[in-house]
A and B are shown apart, each in its own frame.
Chain A
Amino acid sequence: MGDSSKQIREAARKLFEENKVDLIIGFEDGSLPLRATPCFIRRGEDAERLVWNSFCENNLATYLPKKKGKTGIVAKGCDSRSIVGFLKEKQIERENLVIIGVPCEGMIDRKAVEERLGEREILSVEEGPEEIVVKGTDYEEKMKKEDLLPESCRICTHRNPVLYDVLIGEALEEQKVADPFELIREFEGRTAEERWAYFCGETEKCIRCYACRNACPICYCEACYVDSSEPQWFGKSIESTDTMIFHIVRAFHTTGRCVDCGACIRACPMDVDLRFLNKKIEKDVLELFSFEAGEDPDEPPPLTTYKQDDPEEFIK
């Protein structure tokens, strides 16, 4: 992906030269192996810092709603779909935004790499076209990138940005995914007790740090319901019912809006994985309203509109 870094820098420099942006949000090298980190470029000469690799895991769209002025953003497929969500919900103005779209082959799940290495510390990582080479004090291991993708990247059918002003490199062929809801069908096949046990096991790990919420682009509410103290809707501690309610309500709040970018799972310091909640809702919305989030900025959100032929089986 070395070429992409170069092209992103060139595109960024040009945007500054032509006075089209005041700020570009992109990635620069992180301080640790397996990490790139969000960066905010305000001068053409700083465009040198921009990089693109398989560690650009954050959904940069998260930063957009608070930005003023003309903003450029480096956007992979899922970031661009979150941008579509913002446009749909009137949180940003298209004319103030320049999207540097980057086709994405999936971002490496650093937790998966760490898991494979047991508890051997990673000192450096080199990325090739197909593989990464991970090195520590007394080992060196090659790993195939495609084996290290998180589920959301593995079944991604939007590797190319859905909306962009500049496209870096060539568009990629989109993946053919036989069943994007395989996880949900498997989950639905479990007994209620098994599903409950899984949900309890995941929420039990939660420390209510809200990294999931804050990393999530669509959790942009000025005042989140969990931060309300008057009224206080539910408890703020790690009491199990409170933690469960937090995650359930957050999932409901993403209905018809979640683009399955995986930012919540990546951000979690405790490895909480409740993706099945969002994915189940995504499946329901698709089946009920033939709607997929992050596609067309002009299509109204499914829960704010109605059609004559909307399903109504639930009305008894």
Chain B
Amino acid sequence: MYKSWWKILGAILVVYSTVAGFLSAAPALPILHQSIRNLYFHVPMWFSMIVLFTVSVWHSIKYLRSNDPDHDLKAVQSVNTGIVFGLMGIVTGAVWARFTWGQAWSFDVKQNFAAIALLLYFAYLVLRNAIDEEQKRAKISAIYNIFAFPMMVVLLFVLPRLSDSLHPGNGGNPGFNAYDLDRHMRMVFYPACLGWILIGYWIYSILFRVSSLEKNKLN
């Protein structure tokens, strides 16, 4: 959390994937046209969110085993950061959909369930707000987190594949593999995902360090 190398790597990967995202060759697809490049921005938001929520549930489990308040602080700050990335994912998805699917919200399965998954984590924050005592708050929210995480995974990865969907990779549509994600796109897409995951983790680590200092100042 205090080392610099992975932060610099994340910065380089994000700048590279953004510049290359605009300038590299993209397959000519009907309806999507140049907006296929949104793949390099919209999708990494979701991967970053998932990594951050995984970090969160990990720390929630660790808290229940150790009662160390640092784990609770890490759990909540990673949820905070993850929610921001999830919101950016959903908004950029709606903007992209407006011009490709016809409207910003098509009540597509993945859109609906992504919104519900975010609501699950909003509920985590609301739950924490409702409990004043520190240890009780940490314990109860940790237990909630352990339930919320697998629910989120099912909502985002399992259920959309079982029914009709507009999203690639769901509802009988081919994933981005066969038709849209050619060799050139992969060279930008994978660094983009890794870069944004690193940046997301960095932002979470800064939030944690700030809140940790604030807590120490209070005590």
Q: Do A and B come from one complex?
A: no
